[in-house]
Amino acid sequence: MDKYSIIGKRQVRTDSAVKATGAAKFAGDFLLPGMLVGKILRSPLPHAKILNIDTSKAMKLKGVRAVATGKDITDVPHGIMRVDPLPPILRDKYSLAKERVRFIGDEVAAVAAIDEDTAMEAMELIKVDYEELPAVFDIWESLKPGAIQIHENFPGNISTLTAFHHGDVDKAFAESDYILEDKYETQRTHHSYIEPHAVTAEFYASGEVTIWPSTQTPFYDKVCIAETIGVPVNKVRVIKPHVGGGFGGKGDVHSLFPISALLSRMSGKPVQISYTREEDIVSTTRRHPTIIEQKIGVKKDGRIMGFDSKILADGGAYQGISMVSIFVMAVFQHGPYKLPNYRCDARRVYTNKPYCGAQRGHGGIQPRFVIESMMDIIAENLNLDPLEIRRINGLHTGDITLNKFRIRSCGHIESIDRAAEDIGWKDKRKKLPEGKGVGLACNFFASGPGFSYFFTNPPSHSGVNITAEEDGTFLLYTGSSDIGQGSETALAMIAAEAIGLSSIDQLKVIAADTATTPMDLGTYGSRLTTIAGNAAKMAGTKIKDELVETAADMLEANKEDLESRDGRIYVKGNPEKGVTIREAVQTRFQIKRIPLTTVGYYNPPADTGDTSGFAEGKVSLSPTWSFGAHAAEVDVDKETGVVKVNKVSAAHDCGFAINPLAVEGQIEGCVSMTFGQATCEEFRTEKGWTMTNSFLDYKLPTSEDMPDVIPIIVESIDTEGPFGAKEASEGANIPTIPAITNAICDAIGFRVRDLPINPEKILRALEKKGGEK
């Protein structure tokens, strides 16, 4: 018999049928009686004072039901960096601008009208008087003394600053045999989820409002909406519908949510706002572009002694979640290699451009590109095997990093070995003809944040309730948000296994409704399988315990001797002697007449570092960590500079694959996203204008461009995650870029130091090299 009956098996997702048939409802699909269309008027200028907004003409247009401006909202800025003791100034944005606009696309006014054409016409009738202010688009301009201040509270236009120093870095460099200093740049990218932001809101005469947003974090939305429109938090109900992807882009509370509630209150009708793709690309968030100066000192054998990095990120006009972005960029450097001495100074700078936030692989992508490139250079210069230098520096199970991350399970070496084997490393590295090459890179990522940046005192990080129905089936209530990754299926599998059900069909998941489901912090930081999964496991185990007790009475057996599995509770070793779960539930109801509901919850352990405030980098960052390695094979066309990525062998240590089908899907999705960032995606602006505001100009790779992706699941069986599981949805995003650039270096000897790798860069490099010879 397999160890488990449900988990570890390839499970088709619970939402497959509704999505395949088109029946699934997304935020923009709701059709409520009398519903109005909402539209947002945006700033056409990169930086300006708002002198006056005249909405009278728009109000008079036939079919217009409400026009809102910054005057109609409270003075509480919306923003998700709320936890004590973070200063309130970190919330630096209003849903509708009050006095000033800071980028082209900033929200200035909003209209609700009977149809979209009328709403658009009304927007043209709103007259905004601006006093244009000087704008800065370049971080160096922004950092210059005397530069215009984008936010008064942030002198020097520095929005976030972190400095982490552990050990004696200078001494470590003095003791190193070899020191490499290098500099890299990464670009802005956009998540490009298939569903642009959308929301439907209905404000009722009772003073309550229900909102269906395309979101990753309904419990944050609830608070921000309540604060922005000035109603008590318990009057706001947020129900997450199906969501067409988020990748971190729907984890910030975007203006359209409070605005839709506001317009609905003003008009007395339900209001729907659906962003156009252009609006979405321009006004939401994107990955931070960075300039990273890095220094690594090693011993002759390749052991890392000292590590020093300086990160400079262009943040755009607002703060958003970026304090976390900068923080994680710094701290995620502590794996997968052991760093005995470490220093990182990171700064984020405001500019008058669309602002940056979280994107899948948050904080991992930029530094990892740098570190993994440099590991290869160091190996080359010390005549070491790139795999060997990664192995000898690798963390191991039981290690505690300098900043107190606990490594509870570690598939680092197995990932390297399996990725290398799959790509044919031994026969290919340095052995392929000129123009062809292979490269490898590793990763390290959090399985859910160990801290909350939003709530100071959340009831728990994740709550799950399970209730038994009279027929012996179950309802599972979770506040967590499935945004397409399949987390509801994973939770159902975990709970069903814990209870001992024979299939997940006996358990229905009710999720992400702030009025009926227990609080969960949201979908970000790859937290659901580990964190909500542990809560589901606890609630399921409690159900099992209760039912085993009943069954013990029914069978006149000791409960310690009973096992619950495949829908039955029976005596271990004597499966005939047992009852069905249904019988146990019904008997229990008959005897006790008490509802059977259990409460599961999970809070990350406090032993991974000290929790005295994350501004100093001392928080419990994650319960446990994922590892992995990607190996890529490329072909470079030496005449055109075109790089073709043939294959990516992507090994990922997810602890234990609850649903291997979903893990493979996540690995493939991860590779496609960062393959895009490596080879073609770049969010570009010019003097504040977004130039890449469509999918024609913002180059997402197409299915025809994709390399073969070979997902390789590594299982290190974690001690903290449910049934040994760790994250599987972001870590595998991280090593693709350096695996590709390392392969390019193997192919043509050229080191890519800025992204994306476009053919022109490669061709220039090839010509330069030819000239040198």
Partner 1 sequence: MRLPKFEYLEPTNVKEITSLLKKNADAILVAGGTDILPKMKQRIVTPKFVINVTKIEDLKKIEFGEKKGLILGSLATLDNISKSKQVIEKFTALAQAAGRIASPQLRNMGTIGGNISIESMCMYFNQSHEWRKGRPHLCFKLGGDRCFVAKGSKECLALFQADTPPALIALGATVTIVGSTGKEKIINIEDFYTQKSKKVNILKPTDFVKQIHIPTPPKGTKSCYLKMAQRAAIDYPIAGAAACITISGNKCKNAGIAVTSVGSGPLRLKEVEDILIGNSITDELIAKAADAAYEKIRPMPHFNISAWYKRKLIRVLVKRSIKQACI
Q: Which residues in this chain contact partner 1 in the complex, by CB under 8 A?
A: 42-45, 104, 116-117, 120, 276, 278-279, 639-642, 680, 682, 684, 689-691, 693, 695-697, 699, 701-702, 704-705, 758-760, 763
Hey, is 340 helix, strand or coil? coil
Closer by beta carbon to partner 1, 351 or else 481: 351
Closer by beta carbon to partner 1, 130 or else 247: 130
> Least CB distance from residue 696 to partner 1, whole Å?
7
C-beta separation of 363 from 327 below 8 A: yes
- What residue has token string 């890392």? 304
> Least CB distance from residue 637 to partner 1, whole Å?
9
CA 484 to chain centre: 12
C-beta separation of 89 from 156 below 8 A: no
Closer by beta carbon to partner 1, 170 or else 278: 278
State the burial class of residue 9 (Cβ atoms within 10 Å of its Cβ: 0-12, 13-18, 19+).
Answer: middle
- Residue 730's nearest CA partner among 489, 522, 529, 525 is 525
> Least CB distance from residue 248 to partner 1, whole Å?
24
Closer by beta carbon to partner 1, 325 or else 677: 677
> Least CB distance from residue 48 to partner 1, whole Å?
9
Give CA angle at 251 (456, 513), nearest 5°.
Answer: 75
> Least CB distance from residue 694 to partner 1, whole Å?
8
- Residue 486's nearest CA partner among 471, 513, 504 is 504
Written as one string, the DSSP assignment of 426-453 is HHHTTTSPTTEEEEEEEEEEESS-SS-S
Give CA angle at 675 (666, 444), nearest 5°.
Answer: 60
Instruction: Count CB atoms within 10 A of the CB of residue 57.
Output: 14
> Least CB distance from residue 477 to partner 1, whole Å?
39
Distance, CA of 698 to CA of 682 (rounded, Å): 7
> Least CB distance from residue 377 to partner 1, whole Å?
27
> Least CB distance from residue 146 to partner 1, whole Å?
24
513-to-250, 271, 356 alpha-carbon distances in Å = 16, 19, 28
C-beta separation of 143 from 156 below 8 A: yes
> Least CB distance from residue 763 to partner 1, whole Å?
6
> Least CB distance from residue 766 to partner 1, whole Å?
10
**For 252-352, where are the alpha helices, taking DSSP H only?**
256-267, 277-283, 322-331
Q: Enter the DSSP assignment of 633.
A: E
Phi, psi of 50 (to 5 degrees): -90, 115
> Least CB distance from residue 51 to partner 1, whole Å?
15
Closer by beta carbon to partner 1, 107 or else 720: 107
> Least CB distance from residue 270 to partner 1, whole Å?
20
Looking at residue 32, its amino acid is: L
Closer by beta carbon to partner 1, 697 or else 708: 697
Closer by beta carbon to partner 1, 140 or else 695: 695
**For 41-127, where are the alpha helices, taking DSSP H only?**
56-60, 116-125
- What residue has token string 């992706």? 709
What is the maximum alpha-carbon separation in the chain?
A: 89
Closer by beta carbon to partner 1, 415 or else 685: 685
> Least CB distance from residue 640 to partner 1, whole Å?
5
Closer by beta carbon to partner 1, 613 or else 759: 759
Non-local CB neighbours of 416 within 8 Å, separated by 6+ positions = 387, 390, 391, 394, 440, 442, 629, 651
CA dihedral sign of residues 613, 615, 616, 617: positive
Closer by beta carbon to partner 1, 524 or else 750: 750
C-beta separation of 653 from 411 below 8 A: yes
Closer by beta carbon to partner 1, 196 or else 248: 196
Closer by beta carbon to partner 1, 170 or else 697: 697
Q: Enter the DSSP assignment of 683.
A: -
> Least CB distance from residue 202 to partner 1, whole Å?
24
Phi, psi of 176 (to 5 degrees): -80, 150
